[in-house]
Structure 1
């Protein structure tokens, strides 16, 4: 059982969803790849002070039932619609989509426009991000599609990772910290599996999706240092990626009448909702005000 929330029957699977607060519009968090609903619990708790707030785990991640990964964006969007209905969370919703979750938020909004009151995209992936990427980047991305080729972590590596994760989750509630650390150690391949089709199949879904509905939209670019990205890529590649991302995010925000682009120079890609929780909460509050 999940440390918070409960499992809801959706089709032939059970999905973890946790809701607190009251009123509307409800704010729904869509995790990035490798993250789960409880990664956003601190921000969720603050949002729940002013409206209904929802975190959940997609099938195949977190405390939801297993599912073959990767999945199409259409399947994830339909699943989210179903679990919100089964959990009796009334719409329309303010969707907060982070990274890969931003992709799914866009596809949900395109498919269910009447169920969306606002969109906050936290450093979202964009389908044209690698259009002009150097071959070095494309080669590494291709290698990362094969997590099954990576060796299991040794006992020493697991212990080192546990120490690092314990520090990372130090600000999380006690009843959440331990289960989150255990989950991360047991499922570190999930992030690589879940976005395995991101650069082709899911990107094509975005290109062919209907336009976003005319709802308030805020796109936040995390342009600060990110330890994971720094470990994967050279400084030059990170710099060029940030430049490309800034341009794409600005264009995405400008694609709707009430779109706005904001930049955080002091937050990285992985946890902008923790590094600049104040800015994320401010954006959510702005969207709630506009939606109401």
Structure 2
């Protein structure tokens, strides 16, 4: 593959990342899993509160890394990332209720997502504390889950996480395919502090969004400010821009994203 081919591929992925944001304001209008997803294994399906939850685990090692996709993204969105982490990192990718191989009602809130995640991890007997790695809408789930289960989470990495004001914007703009944005914002804002755990936020490059005219500078500033405040929930939390990245940071800048997860894993092991 030539250098121009590699650049072209990165550009195509970045463009797709931006398109997903521009079309649905950080949410994918998905009604379930992709038809391309392979059939679920019986051992990866669990009964949680009368629903079927899909949690696909692989690899070895401790702590377990729990992977939470953006809205509408199934577990397969993490395939490349998990392969790059290697077999010595235990990962468990989760399908939200109503997405992929998980069943459930179409309307979701942060509280319902956090409760379902907790029930799934317990049903699957996943050792805790875990490291949570999430993208986009997973920011809402993770903020509440850590607030409600502080002893169950050892570290967090979030890629361009959704913040409360944007969850409300979903409702204002009628972009809420499967999520009650206002209720979710109210729920996550009750969490004002996290335990002292390693926490990194990697966010998109504002210059990339400005070039693509995804939104105006005022909205960009607001989102960046709230993501920085989100990082400060943990005493040593950090938020930083990944140059050249669109919304899907873990795909647009896989190397930097993997390095962030490894830093958090190393920090967790050191604290033991």
Alignment of 1:101-116 (within 5 A): 101-116=138-153
Aligned twin of 1:206: 188
Aligned twin of 1:124: 161
Aligned twin of 1:76: 113
> Of the candidates 212, 225, 236, which is equivalent to residue 247 of structure 1?
225
Alignment of 1:82-101 (within 5 A): 82-101=119-138
For the aligned residue pairs, the C-alpha RMSD in angstroms reads 2.5
> Of the candidates 1, 8, 11, which is equivalent to residue 49 of structure 2?
11
Return the alpha-carbon distance in structure 2 between the equivalents of residues 142 and 256 of structure 1: 30
Aligned twin of 2:29: none
Specify the SS of the correspondent of 2:105. Answer: coil
Aligned twin of 2:266: 289
TM-score w.r.t. the length of structure 1 is 0.72
Specify the SS of the correspondent of 1:54. Answer: strand
> Of the candidates 58, 76, 82, which is equivalent to residue 96 of structure 2?
58
| Per-residue deviation, residues 171-209 of structure 1 (Å, max 9, x unmatched) | xxxxxxxxxxxxxxxxxxxxx4223x12x1110111112
Return the alpha-carbon distance in structure 2 between the equivalents of residues 110 and 118 of structure 1: 13
Return the alpha-carbon distance in structure 2 between the equivalents of residues 83 and 23 of structure 1: 20
Stretches of structure 2 lacking an aligned partner (at least 5 in a row): 1-36
Return the alpha-carbon distance in structure 1 between the equivalents of residues 235 and 40 of structure 2: 38
Instruction: Rate the CA distance shift 1:215–1:208 in 2: closer, same or farther, 3 A.
Output: same
Return the alpha-carbon distance in structure 1 between the equivalents of residues 53 and 90 of structure 2: 19
> Of the candidates 16, 19, 22, which is equivalent to residue 60 of structure 2?
22
Stretches of structure 1 lacking an aligned partner (at least 5 in a row): 132-137, 146-191
2:177 counterpart of 1:193: yes
Return the alpha-carbon distance in structure 2 between the equivalents of residues 129 and 64 of structure 1: 25
Alignment of 1:209-220 (within 5 A): 209-220=191-202
Return the alpha-carbon distance in structure 2 between the equivalents of residues 87 and 59 of structure 1: 16
Return the alpha-carbon distance in structure 2 between the equivalents of residues 4 and 45 of structure 1: 19
